[in-house]
Structure 1
Amino acid sequence: MNRCQFVEDHQRRYGVTRLCRILGIARSSFSHWQRTGPARQAADIELAARIRQVHRASDGTYGVPRITAELGEDSENVNHKRVARIMKAVRLAGLRLRRRHRTTIPDPAAAKVPDLIGRDYTASEVNTKYVGDITYLSLAGGKFRYLATVIDLASRRLAGRAIADHMRAELVVDALTAAERTRDSLPGR
């Protein structure tokens, strides 16, 4: 309920002037609301029906920005804030894309690790240069598993991998151990 509606509901008992002063609204604003309120409510009801139609046509995926754009294409100039207000009132929401899960949180106090390959991702011989990475795999229920890989730069083949529900150093060690088993040895290890 907005403040003007409150004033209208309680004006007989307390008076418009007193309620406007207490609620911090100008009496002229209340008078303007009284003149335009019912018309705006009728327009909001009509717009809500159109919003429902667009939302249903998108299989429930469109949110405020897309519905506003769709209404604009149909020559209905409407503000995105009004669309958001009406969608909230009728309990409609667009499909939310999953959030990115942050996998690396650097320690500001830790020393920088040197780039041993100097950004040169090529190798002339197999079993001389390896690179690794950790990524996450999202599962149902908002859970994750982490995948660590070791790749030989010469052959571009997967040399070792490990999957776990954590991102501790053991995950990388397990991937290196798997690569060592696959390749019989890792130079420099």
Structure 2
Amino acid sequence: MISSLNSIRFRDEVGEVEYFGQKVVLLRRDAFSLIRKELSRVAGTASGVILEVAGRRVGTEEGIVLSSKAEGLGLNRPEGLPDFIRTAVEESNMGFGKMQVKELEISVGKAVVIVQNSFEAEDAGVSLKPICRFTSGYLEGIFCQLVGKNMRSQEIECKAKGDNDCKFILSLAAS
């Protein structure tokens, strides 16, 4: 697989950075914590929902791009789709942390994803409940697009509350 470093292009002449051919903005990891704190200060308890909705939108857009690639490579057929999904989620290093698809049952719409070194949990401090709302939404969006089913994500373990890693269960959304 192409290393992530080889896929970054700095276009100094126009002040842009490209990652796998798409324009990106690079921020320090703690910038997200600052955004989360300000959002919480301004929006209160609604901040978690806002982060989840935003994450879902980002995941949906990423899923659209990946679905198009899968179709172009002929990997969107049932026999190739599970491997493509694992590769897409685990190796498209977006800085969220190290993602691993532990379980994937496309036919029943179920997946289990572990995130080590979560960018949300690492800088959040201690919490009594899971806090990776953006990542949860992102996983919903990307899996909905790749699997072709409406799915919901729930973080059941979180590094911020003392668990070893962050663990997400994705399942079919209630109709």
Provide TM-score, normalisation by structure 2: 0.26
Between Structure 1 and Structure 2, the one with more strand by share is: 2
